[in-house]
Amino acid sequence: MTGPARLAARQVTPDLARGLLLALIAVANAHLYLVDRSIGYRGYPSGLTGADAVVAVVQMVLVDGRVFPLFAALVGYGVARLAERAPESVVRRRGLVLIGIGALHGLLLFPGDIIGAYGLVILLMAPAVAGVTASSSRGLLAAAGAIGAFGVLLSSSASGPQGIPTVPSIAAPTLGAFLAAHPGEWFATTLFSALLTAPAVLVGVVIARSGTLDDPVAHRRRLALWAVGGLVAGVGLGLPLALAVAGVWAPTSGVGAVVAAAHAAGGYAGALGLLGVMGLLGSVSWPGRDLIAAAGTWSMTLYLSQSVVFVAVFATVAGGLGSSASLTTATLVGLATWLVGVLVAGLLARRGHRGPFELLVRRLTYPRTPTRPT
């Protein structure tokens, strides 16, 4: 079969994971909009105290560096499903479409965009996951391990306080300066993010082939193992850098490299742990589950809409709150943005409406079949 899956045919658990993930993405990105102050580790403001320090530690061990590998695993899951019903050319076209959308997002709004990076990974790995040349699951896991090890080694170089915001253009004083800085920021972010998230995309393909998320009830034991093992490893490996972000200690350059590498490695483990938790949540019924899952079918649209809200609220050329808001305030703005998005998109999706960017990707990905006259 060639063509997109109908809404009624979609699995609930992957969409639920996407819906819940949007909350974590909002939290992960919100602190990047805090500017005009001293910036410490991982783009967090330095000198955090009280509630802000607590929020930073929680985010560092559960969200920072964990969310985008998780997002990547779900992208890999989607690519595997696409490869089951479409040829390699369609998979490659999906990658090109995502690169295009990511470029528009990065150049116009938020150069920390991740969509373009996923598109690049999909484009490069299309032969390995589609068609008769598709690699075995063991081969994909081996490749993921090798790329992941290199990414962790590369992450060790970012061992000290940044000094400047992760996305400096947020503090640009004029719209012209804001836009002029985006091409370079987006290009560098896309290449680096593609390298760090490629292993998780490959693992997501393997997860899709295993059927774990398609039938979470039958795989609760596996999901529980992922949840416990992944979260314990993710928290343990991320805690040293989290305490540095909170100002509890300041590692030396040599120790800092090890701590940064451990945090990156913990990101992959933590992502698997979060996926296990989301899979377990998908195996039972609870209030709001179906609404969040419905919103998950709008994941790209909601991800892009978060950038619209954040730029409007935080950027110096717009609302300007980024120069004065605390980390706690930025986090609450992110969660509120997610909640509104879930309510609006979830209700629309349950009435059968697709997200506008999901429709755009669908129309650009699948080739149009000429209509024959009757």
Q: Is residue 369 part of a domain?
A: no
Average pLDDT of 108-123?
Answer: 97
Residue 94 has pLDDT above 70, yes or no: yes
Res 374: pLDDT: 41
Q: Give the Cβ contact number of residue 27 at 10 Å.
A: 23
Of 6 and 144, the structure prediction assigns the larger pLDDT to: 144
Residue 372 has pLDDT above 50, yes or no: no
Q: Is residue 148 part of a domain?
A: yes
The domain tally of the chain equals 1
Average pLDDT of 254-274?
Answer: 96
Average pLDDT of 45-69?
Answer: 97
Res 373: pLDDT: 46
What tens digit of pLDDT does each residue of 192-246 get? 999 999 999 999 999 999 999 999 999 999 999 999 999 999 999 999 999 999 9
Q: Is residue 121 part of a domain?
A: yes
Q: Band of the pLDDT at 1, cuts 50, 70, 90?
A: very low
Q: Is residue 341 part of a domain?
A: yes
Q: Is residue 374 part of a domain?
A: no
What tens digit of pLDDT does each residue of 146-173 get? 999 999 999 988 878 999 999 999 999 9
Average pLDDT of 273-298?
Answer: 96
Q: Is residue 1 part of a domain?
A: no
Please, are residues 220 and 252 in contact by the beta-carbon 8 Å criterion? Answer: no
What pTM was computed for the model? 0.93
Res 2: pLDDT: 52
Q: Is residue 371 part of a domain?
A: no
Domain containing residue 334: 7-364
Instruction: Indicate the average pLDDT of the chain.
Output: 93
Q: Is residue 2 part of a domain?
A: no
Res 307: pLDDT: 98
Q: Band of the pLDDT at 369, cuts 50, 70, 90?
A: low
